[in-house]
Structure 1
Amino acid sequence: MVDYIMEVERELDFWKRKMTKRSSRISRVSKVAQTKINGLIPEKFHQVMTDSIKNMVKATLVGSNITTKKRSTLDIGLFEKDELLREKLSTYRKTAVVEGAGTGAGGILLGLADFPLLLSIKMKFLFEAASIYGYDTKDYEERLFILHIFLLAFSSEEKRKETLFIIENWEQQKHVIADMDWRDFQQEYRDYIDLVKMFQLVPGIGAVVGAFANYNLLDQLGETAMNSYRLRILQSNESK
């Protein structure tokens, strides 16, 4: 077990460096372009999008909390928890691939339906992850932590660094965070997935793009969730 903890610590160091490294030139140029476009969009549209995604996410959080099986993982170690998460990730990744291929093959109308469907899959997976690592999602702060994992996985360089700091210092930060900044949340997520999801709407290649994109998005979310909870568990052990 000691050897595995050392391995996890090495993986965490590598992951944190990856999360804080400078984005690629293409990503930076894309973000600048998206920021300019967002500045040209009427404020009313931004408010509608913010409210829509806020309501969509909150509805998903409630549904996921109800349907997630509560696990008793207090008696198993970090290695077993990580293995359980990998198994769950494999299942959710397959579901996301099927969903992405199906909506991508259906053209524009079904392609647009991919957004709420994929969001629901991602949130359900995060609730499963919380349960595996022994955190009770009935607690508001745990649902808030889930939203920060989501934001960390799908955000720009600047926001990613800011969110990683919050997650690394969660025990202190949770007392000063009353709610998500939903405007930031929806804009970061939309900007992150807009380009790849646009290609999903193209007839002929939509199914392939949808399946590939959803596989990678779930993979990224799984890595982010695992390491975020690893950080909390190791910090908790150090404080005892």
Structure 2
Amino acid sequence: MQFEKQQQAFRDSKPSLIGRGFEKFTNPVASAVTSFIPSGLVKGVLSGIDRAIGAPQLVKFDHDLTDLVQCHDAAKTVERTAKAVSGSTGAASGLGGIATMGLDIPATIAVALRNIRDTGRAYGYDGKGARERLFRLQILELASLNDRSQRQERIAVLENGIDTDGNLTEISPDEIEPIIEQAVERVSRALALALFRRRVGAVVPIVGSVIGGAVNVSFQGDIGEAARYAFQERRLRAAKP
């Protein structure tokens, strides 16, 4: 498996087709829909990102952590499971249209956080500590962006935070928490745009079930792809002499 080519393909890729499609379609009415979402909803979920560490794993692993191909395959299994879980909740919430649409947002983000956490574990990273928490937030933000230039900027920031041995660059305890708070604010905005705009079509009951399920599956796919790229980059750097 040509991992370096995979990494470069991700760097060069555009946001997902369904993400760009919903963004284009929903731009004119996005602000109207977002007004139905309780203030601080996304930020509140993100502020509890550490709770995702203790949540049950989406997948139980039994692969060889020293084998990068097996790690990659295990991470793909995580993505498929996250899609199945989030897709079913999105379809169920979409049955009620706008009345239930907002209820699915926290569940979607919670699955995304477990998706990222378990992808990291598939590659041998337990995700504990403030620095790892920031790294997971960076992955979440990267997967949420539909603007290609912003996406390139965040890829560069994420890569600059990975040392030559695959570990994350150190940030002092006094500096890390303010940086995390800034990241939560930034990721909250990115998620609001990514999730709310994609869900505009879900305001119509019944029809919203199809859209809600499709959007959640697409979003978890974006999350899984970004997480594999990020953790795989760490493993590749660690493997270099």
Q: Give matches, 1:47-196, under 5 Å.
A: 49=39, 51-59=40-48, 61-68=49-56, 75-155=65-145, 156-171=147-162, 174-175=169-170, 178=176, 179-180=179-180, 181=182, 182-196=184-198
Amino acid at match of 2:44: N
Q: Give matches, 1:31-42, under 5 Å.
A: none
Amino acid at match of 2:71: K
More helix by proportion, 1 or 2? Answer: 1
Taking the aligned partners of 2:8 and 2:54, their CA distance within structure 1 comes to 35
* TM-score (ref. length: structure 2): 0.78
Taking the aligned partners of 1:108 and 1:170, their CA distance within structure 2 comes to 39
- After superposition, the Cα gap between the structure-2 partners of 1:128 and 1:26, relative to the gap in structure 1 and judged at 3 Å, is closer
Of 209, 212, 215, which residue of structure 1 is paired with 2:211?
209
* TM-score (ref. length: structure 1): 0.79
**Contact 1:74 1:134 (8 Å CA) reproduced:** no
Provide the alpha-carbon RMSD of the alignment. Answer: 3.2
Name the count of aligned residue pairs. 220
Taking the aligned partners of 1:16 and 1:133, their CA distance within structure 2 comes to 20
**Contact 1:85 1:132 (8 Å CA) reproduced:** yes
Taking the aligned partners of 1:27 and 1:64, their CA distance within structure 2 comes to 28
**Contact 1:96 1:214 (8 Å CA) reproduced:** yes
- After superposition, the Cα gap between the structure-2 partners of 1:26 and 1:102, relative to the gap in structure 1 and judged at 3 Å, is closer
- After superposition, the Cα gap between the structure-2 partners of 1:72 and 1:165, relative to the gap in structure 1 and judged at 3 Å, is farther
- After superposition, the Cα gap between the structure-2 partners of 1:88 and 1:29, relative to the gap in structure 1 and judged at 3 Å, is closer
Structure 1, unaligned stretches of length 5 or more? 42-47
Taking the aligned partners of 1:26 and 1:222, their CA distance within structure 2 comes to 19
Deviation at 1:77, TM superposition (A): 0.9
- After superposition, the Cα gap between the structure-2 partners of 1:26 and 1:66, relative to the gap in structure 1 and judged at 3 Å, is closer
**Contact 1:34 1:191 (8 Å CA) reproduced:** no
**Contact 2:199 2:212 (8 Å CA) reproduced:** yes
**Contact 2:64 2:71 (8 Å CA) reproduced:** no
Moved more, 131-140 or 115-124: 131-140
Deviation at 1:229, TM superposition (A): 1.1
Deviations 1:178-230 (A, max 9, x none): 32323322112211232221111212310000111111111111111111111
Deviations 1:102-132 (A, max 9, x none): 0001222211101111111111111111111
Deviations 1:18-64 (A, max 9, x none): 159xx979968987x799x69xx9xxxxxx94x543332122x2321
Higher relative contact order (CA 8 A, sep 6+): 2
Percentage identity across paired residues of the two chains: 19
**Contact 2:23 2:198 (8 Å CA) reproduced:** no
SS in 2 for 1:171: coil
Structure 2, unaligned stretches of length 5 or more? none
Taking the aligned partners of 1:54 and 1:83, their CA distance within structure 2 comes to 32
Amino acid at match of 2:134: L
Deviations 1:111-165 (A, max 9, x none): 1101111111111111111111111222211111111001001013333122100
Q: Does 1:232 align with 2:241?
A: no
